């Protein structure tokens, strides 16, 4: 037997429509409800209710504009592998708080294993990166090791 179990076709339809809505909004978050409804073969009322439910459920977490790094004066991107001397709560919290507040930091991830953190930074140029590294990162207590990787080319940008 192929397909969903009997009596569950409405569940499958809901899942299919939800994923279609998600896919369209990932491609273009500026779609109007009318355009979105047309693309996923729904009328506007049910489409809007589905989007609102996906937002309320936390599936759709927000909408944003993607700004060219050069327009913000931050076209020099650096990826950092960073390790701390210790993993006690105070060291970790202080490090994360300082870097999370830095406007140069685009992404900050704590990792399992080594290194302890992955940090994605965007600055104007090499001199700005050197200033960020020496004045912001290296002044945080208990930073053990920083390895910088300079982006040659972005093959697939983040969404």
- Residues 112 and 133 occupy one common structural domain: yes
Q: Three-class SS of residue 119?
A: strand
- Residues 93 and 145 occupy one common structural domain: yes
Q: Three-class SS of residue 156?
A: coil
- Residues 137 and 87 occupy one common structural domain: yes
pLDDT tens readout for residues 95-137:
999 999 999 999 999 999 999 999 999 999 999 999 999 999 9
The answer to whether the predicted template modeling score (pTM) of the entire model surpasses 0.95 is: no
Range(s) of the domain holding residue 123: 69-150
Q: Which residues contact 85 (CB under 8 A, 6 or more apart)?
A: 91, 142, 143, 144
The tokens describing 43, both together, are 């009328």
- Residues 112 and 144 occupy one common structural domain: yes
- Residues 146 and 102 occupy one common structural domain: yes
The count of domains in the chain is: 2
**70-95 burial, b if ≥16 CB within 10 A, otherwise e?**
eeeebebbbebbbbbeeeeeebbeeb
pLDDT at residue 8 above 90?
Answer: no
| pLDDT (0 to 100) of residue 1 | 41
């Amino acid at each position: 037997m192929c397909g969903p179990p009997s009596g569950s076709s409405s569940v499958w339809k809901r899942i299919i429509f939800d994923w279609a809505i998600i896919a369209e909004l990932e491609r273009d978050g500026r779609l109007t409800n009318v355009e979105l409804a047309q693309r996923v073969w729904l009328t506007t009322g049910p489409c809007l209710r589905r989007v609102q439910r996906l937002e309320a459920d936390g599936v759709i977490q927000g909408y944003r504009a993607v700004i060219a790094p050069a327009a913000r004066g931050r076209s020099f991107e650096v990826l950092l592998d960073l390790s701390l001397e210790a993993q006690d709560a105070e060291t970790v919290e202080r490090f994360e708080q300082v870097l999370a507040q830095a406007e140069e930091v685009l992404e900050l991830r704590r990792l399992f294993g080594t290194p302890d953190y992955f940090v994605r930074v965007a600055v104007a140029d090499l001199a700005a990166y050197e200033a960020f590294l020496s004045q912001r990162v290296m002044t945080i207590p208990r930073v053990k090791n920083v390895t910088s990787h300079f982006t040659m080319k972005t093959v697939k940008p983040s969404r």
